[in-house]
Amino acid sequence: MQCLECGSVKIRPSRLRLSDMPRLMLLRMPVRCHTCLSRTYTPLVLALRMRQARRAHS
């Protein structure tokens, strides 16, 4: 996955906000770019895979 703003591949799951609930119902999760800090939404499956990979590295 790549950031739509800067093209970086350093993307991580973002914290959930109350305003994210409608998108969560559509199976979209927030992600944030490490480089430019932009916040966008990705399919739930991709966000969960990122989260699992992050836990495996810890």
Q: Is residue 32 part of a domain?
A: yes
Q: Is residue 24 part of a domain?
A: yes
Residues in contact with 36: Cβ distance below 8 Å, sequence separation at least 6, in sequence order: 3, 5, 6, 8
Q: Is residue 29 part of a domain?
A: yes
Task: Tell me the residue range of the domain where 26 lies.
Answer: 11-57
Q: Is residue 2 part of a domain?
A: no
Number of domains the chain is built from: 1
Q: Is residue 16 part of a domain?
A: yes
Q: Is residue 25 part of a domain?
A: yes
Q: Is residue 4 part of a domain?
A: no
pTM of the model: 0.78
- Per residue in 3-37, pLDDT (tens digit) is 889 999 999 889 999 999 999 999 999 999 999 99
* d(C-alpha 4, C-alpha 31), whole Å: 11
Q: Is residue 43 part of a domain?
A: yes
